[in-house]
Structure 1
Amino acid sequence: MLLLDIRNLTLELETSQGLIRAVDRVSLSLREGEIRGLVGESGSGKSLIAKAIVGVLNQRWRIKADRFHWCGVDLLQLPYDQQRKIIGRDIAMIYQEPSKCLDPTALIAEQLHESIPNQLLKGGWWNRAREKRKKAIALLHKVGIKEHQSVLESYPYQLSEGVCQKVMIAMAIAKNPKLLIADEPTTALEASTQAQLFRLISSLNQLKGMSVLLISNELDSIARYTHHLSVLYCGQLVESGETAKLLAQPFHPYTNALIKSVPEFQPELAPKSQLYALPGSIPTLQHLPVGCRLGPRCPNARKECVHTPALERKQHHFFSCHFPLQYKEPQ
């Protein structure tokens, strides 16, 4: 069953110079019980798409889509109150900068208690405070915080960025959402804790059937945990498919460059060899190239690339390129 079904999502920002198209006709789908990775360089629009799904973009942004369905319901056609009710019940998000998302004037205990729905508590209303306390402690233990007493009695500014990130994850999974959106969930965490949190997200998926949208700019950190990958470049979807097949046979030059830039995916690379990298850098929103936005950096670019390539499909593998790698046209 499709939980999330987005077709041709476009996000435009109103500026004094006019509209800037930050996300250009991106399609994304997520099935029940699936972990999908969304990967790309910083500035590619990953976080914008996540914020559009949970409805937290401000009024300067214009959201357009041919389809924006959640469990068969078109969210863009609903009144704001109904939209917030559905999103608040079924979707949770782990934000990239937890210290800015937590309330600096409230104790962690208050914020964590507020995130726990009453319907998940046992007993009558008179036991509610005690049950929330027990639930909050259990959530902190689940995300790897052992010193729960000191954390619950602290304000966010008294905690490290890593502990704040763990608290955000605990708040996100408190209501057992159908979809968990993790936007760079391991930022500012040490390597051992990163592995622990990825295992936690994987176990939530396997044991509770929770769908996960895992967002990162590090391909190697999420590839082993995802079923499908979608690759973004500068607001355009360049390739999407099953993780194993996409890593084994990428069709888009940008996906190929991401894979070649990771030593883990290059076992035959000689020691101290220089890793592959595309020339140049990702363009700013104010100076976007026409057509394929990778064009100025692409080693295979030709004059046809001034036109935006259509999204092509080979079985369950999608790619958007005029001159795909290792691809033979069907006879």
Structure 2
Amino acid sequence: MQLLDLPLDVFKNIILFTVQDQGLHPDPKEVEKAEFNACLCVAVNASSTVLPVLWGQEKDEKTQLEGGTWENCLAIASWMGNLTLVESLNRGTDPYSFFGRPSWAAAAQGHLDILQFFLKQGALPYEPNFTHITDLELGETPIGAAAYMGHDSIVKLYLQPPYFGPGVQEEEAKAIFVAAQGNQPQTLQTLLEHYTQNRPHPDFLAIIDAALLWSCRRGSPDATRVLLEYGAHPNETDKSPRSCLQHAAIAGDAATVKLLLDAGASIEASRYINKRTIPRLNETWRKKYRDALTEAKRRNYLAVVRVIEEKQREIAETKTAEE
């Protein structure tokens, strides 16, 4: 994100924050550091609400009313890990800002001490306006942002009493999805172990199958390996239907493609929507997608092509030997 993409009011808030941190004569390098971190924070928090409001494309009452100077400063201080400044700016709340909630910013950056400070001050461990587990905007939940970044200690904190309750429980599935996207195997395993101990088995299977699709879309081989080890279905499809293998081939990730093929993924494109239960015939209006090999060839992903063709030869040789 370019600095000029941000409106003047946000820059003023950043400068004011830096002045407060450094005194009346801020170091230009510190100003640049604050601007850089503010841009990173907005970029990660680039949800369907935040950026349109910043650019004046739409109005959002929550962000408009609670995006003042001190709220923005508090969020950026949390993002940067400046506990001294956080304590000086704190008013005993965890407010909305253009840069997300301060507790979210601390979780996203892995600042455990700052996050614990806000939680002890009464910050909610979940996002009260969270509604959709399939909406993967990282600005939505602190546990989701921590999972995507692989901050395992913060994820574990949210999964323990007194913080793990109905609110965090609703967000736990999203955290699994984004850990899969971020290719964070350790954090993903932490979440899966907790989820499988607290949810019915069919719910767990549905979650890991969906997470596998996300890991394949992003070409995340370490996460894919973990999900397959926990029993995710290698032939899972989205509603298109486009399979995990097709997504991995489109992403150009040969390692993920090989993992799926070794786990039994079908090379051919499917006419069926596979959802662990009885496969449903694809509706006639749905688009017919190319198979994984064709998708890889069209994009000149030579490593992916080589892996799939090697698997094809192996299957052909095995079939010949059996005959």
TM range (shorter): 0.3 to 0.5
Q: Which protein has the larger Cα radius of gyration, Structure 1 or Structure 2?
A: 2
More strand by share: 1
| Higher RCO (C-alpha 8 Å, min separation 6) | 1
Q: Which has the higher helix share?
A: 2
